[in-house]
Amino acid sequence: MTLHLAILPILIPMIGGLLMLLPPFAGAHRYQYRRVAALLLMLIQVAFSSYLMLMVVQNGAIMYAVGDWKPPFGIILYADQLSAMLVALTSFLGLGITLYSFSGVDRKGKYFHPLIQFQLLGIYGAFLTNDLFNLFVFFEVLLIASYTLLMHGEGKQKTAANVHYVILNLIGSSLFLFALGTLYGITGTLNIADMAARVAELSGSNQIIAQAGGSLLLIVFGLKSAMLPLHFWLPQTYAAASAPVAALFAIMTKVGVYCIFRVYTVIFGEQAGELANMIQIWAWPLAILTIVAGTIGALASPNLRTLAGNLVIISVGTLLITFSLRTPEATAAGLFYLIHSTLVTGALFLIADMVGQQRGKALDYFVIAREIKQKALLGVLFLIAAMALAGLPPFAGFLGKLVILQSATGSDQIVWVWSIILVPSLITIIALSRAGTTLFWRNTPSRDASESPGVSKWQLSGTLLLLGASPLFALFGASIIEYTNSAAAQLHDIDYLLEVMNLGGDAQ
């Protein structure tokens, strides 16, 4: 069991998702069976990913050679503290949205739960793999699942958004393969650790080709993570998706950010000779502009879902800032912020859906409409999410921004970092309070709210699960920051990676 622990997060949703397509679970009227199976699968995944995280902390990073083909030849899965943490985060988010979907969203299509499992499979795989081509394959797995999940439910809006999303990502996949071909042609390997060792030894003209390949990869990851100027698809897509799907998509941009962290820290990091930190000059302005674009978008959003989508863009920009600082401390701060913002943004999408349910045709648009039925409950949930996202104490969003600000002290960019984190925070507060006042306080007095549906227990449990992380993070902040610190240190320690891969000694 422990031997194959690193591949279990990939195998469980794959086999589980496939089984859910077969007789006892197939068919529109068997949805209860699928729900039980989905819940069980999610609980198993949470348990195993937490166990994986525990084992990685205790025994160091796990290298798993698929089919026992030793590195650099075979496909290698590599679970270090960073991967294990993100896998655990994904499974937790998956549990939350699965619970939420039991309220009836999952009955709009027969394949909702299997598709969620395939989506999770792709995300886990992208986090765990240490092979660039394998990363491409897992990207495609998570993308094809997301294409179909985006169509889940009814609405023409979904089709229009999906056409853009699919075409953009197919072009992105082509670019990814071009980049891979270039890098493989130059370095002769696809293993990330092995490539890191070889990039430093490249001769002058080959270096330029490797730089071209590496820069192409940045475009691909930028598209996935919605980095400016590749972010235009995001607000529309996330606003069109049904609530649990949008909440799950909150982790998808983080897959792109994770890849940027991994590839440009390990392959093109400090030790890469001439190519060291080659994208840093791009990452800085792009990160700042991403935050600016997200902030303007947040102010201009016509409804709560678009607002949440723009907050996702801001969080991506903030993560890119922590990437651009290129210190383990900044990376650690970014990771802490990543976990928290993913869960809370996910919860905000769910809250937007519940609010929309109780406002009739006005949905979650910022217009004067009928009174919300469960005003107090939804209002409190929204307030917690908004405070956590804007970074107000006592919630962990405050802590996340604080550690980012702290990590920038002493560096030359302190003025930039502080202003680009703090000013957008203020504007976010304005956007969120405008949203809250319109949604909860400005009503037409005449309409009776009693006929709108109440919040079901599944919706509430799913949202609370995701939202509950914020106060918990504030309570256990010290130990989580300690964990992200050691995860970041592990990410930046290339020699350790080479040692785990048994590539360290020989220069081959």
Look at residues 228, 248, 23, 76 and name the one whose alpha carbon lies nearest to residue 150: 248
CB of 156: closest distance to another protein in angstroms?
Answer: 5
Look at residues 224, 338, 323 and name the one whose alpha carbon lies nearest to residue 269: 323
CB-nearer residue toward another protein: 151 or 491: 151
CB of 319: closest distance to another protein in angstroms?
Answer: 28
CB of 236: closest distance to another protein in angstroms?
Answer: 11
Query: Which of residues 24, 27, 104, 181 is near another protein by CB under 8 A?
Result: 181
Residues 47-86 contacting another protein, CB under 8 A: none
Residue 225 has, within 13 A of its CA and on its CB side, a CA count of 30
Residues 388-427 contacting another protein, CB under 8 A: none
> Token match 């937490």: residue?
50
Binding mask 190-209 for another protein (x = CB under 8 A): x-------------------
CB-nearer residue toward another protein: 36 or 163: 163
Identity of residue 490: Q
CB-nearer residue toward another protein: 170 or 380: 170
Stretch that binds another protein, among 78-86, 139-147, 311-319, 459-467 (CB under 8 A): 139-147
Binding mask 79-118 for another protein (x = CB under 8 A): ----------------------------------------
> Token match 């650099």: residue?
72
Query: What phi and psi values does residue 273 have, to the nearest 5 degrees?
Result: 65, -125
- Please give the Cα distance from 64 to 10 (Å, whole number): 12
CB of 215: closest distance to another protein in angstroms?
Answer: 16
CB of 170: closest distance to another protein in angstroms?
Answer: 5
Tokens of 1: 């069991």
CB-nearer residue toward another protein: 154 or 482: 154
CB of 143: closest distance to another protein in angstroms?
Answer: 8
Query: Which of residues 177, 300, 422, 426 is near another protein by CB under 8 A?
Result: 177
Q: Does 160 help bind another protein (rule: CB under 8 A)?
A: yes
Q: Does a cis peptide bond (omega within 30 degrees of 0) precede residue 328?
A: no
Residue positions counted in the chain: 508
Bin 153: left if φ > 0, else alpha if -120 < ψ < 50, else beta: left
CB of 490: closest distance to another protein in angstroms?
Answer: 29
CB of 245: closest distance to another protein in angstroms?
Answer: 16
CB-nearer residue toward another protein: 147 or 496: 147
Bin 467: left if φ > 0, else alpha if -120 < ψ < 50, else beta: alpha
CB-nearer residue toward another protein: 209 or 464: 209
| Residues with Cβ within 8 Å of residue 464, at least 6 apart in sequence | none
> Token match 């962290």: residue?
261
Query: Which of residues 55, 66, 137, 392 is near another protein by CB under 8 A?
Result: 137
Query: Which of residues 47, 171, 281, 422 is near another protein by CB under 8 A?
Result: 171
- Please give the Cα distance from 347 to 464 (Å, whole number): 8
Q: Does a cis peptide bond (omega within 30 degrees of 0) precede residue 285?
A: no
Q: Does 11 help bind another protein (rule: CB under 8 A)?
A: no
CB-nearer residue toward another protein: 26 or 144: 144
Are 81 and 57 spatial neighbours (Cβ–Cβ below 8 Å)?
Answer: yes
CB of 175: closest distance to another protein in angstroms?
Answer: 9
* Residue 351 CA from chain centroid, whole number: 18
- Please give the Cα distance from 427 to 168 (Å, whole number): 30
CB-nearer residue toward another protein: 173 or 413: 173
- Please give the Cα distance from 219 to 400 (Å, whole number): 27
Query: What phi and psi values does residue 490 have, to the nearest 5 degrees?
Result: -65, -40
| Residues with Cβ within 8 Å of residue 47, at least 6 apart in sequence | none
Q: Does 217 help bind another protein (rule: CB under 8 A)?
A: no
Are 45 and 10 spatial neighbours (Cβ–Cβ below 8 Å)?
Answer: no
| Residues with Cβ within 8 Å of residue 115, at least 6 apart in sequence | 17, 145, 148, 149, 152
Residues 252-311 contacting another protein, CB under 8 A: none
Query: Which of residues 146, 182, 265, 306 is near another protein by CB under 8 A?
Result: 182
CB of 123: closest distance to another protein in angstroms?
Answer: 17
CB of 166: closest distance to another protein in angstroms?
Answer: 6
* Range list of H helices, 155-203: 156-187, 192-199
CB of 181: closest distance to another protein in angstroms?
Answer: 4
Distances (CA, A) of 370 to 307, 443, 447, 460: 21, 5, 6, 22
Query: Which of residues 19, 26, 66, 144 is near another protein by CB under 8 A?
Result: 144
CB of 74: closest distance to another protein in angstroms?
Answer: 11
Total number of residues binding another protein (CB under 8 A)?
25
Stretch that binds another protein, among 158-166, 251-259, 322-330, 357-365 (CB under 8 A): 158-166
Are 94 and 47 spatial neighbours (Cβ–Cβ below 8 Å)?
Answer: no
Q: Does 178 help bind another protein (rule: CB under 8 A)?
A: yes
- Site residues, another protein (CB under 8 A): 133, 137, 140, 144, 147, 156, 159-160, 162-164, 166-167, 170-171, 173-174, 177-178, 180-182, 184-185, 190
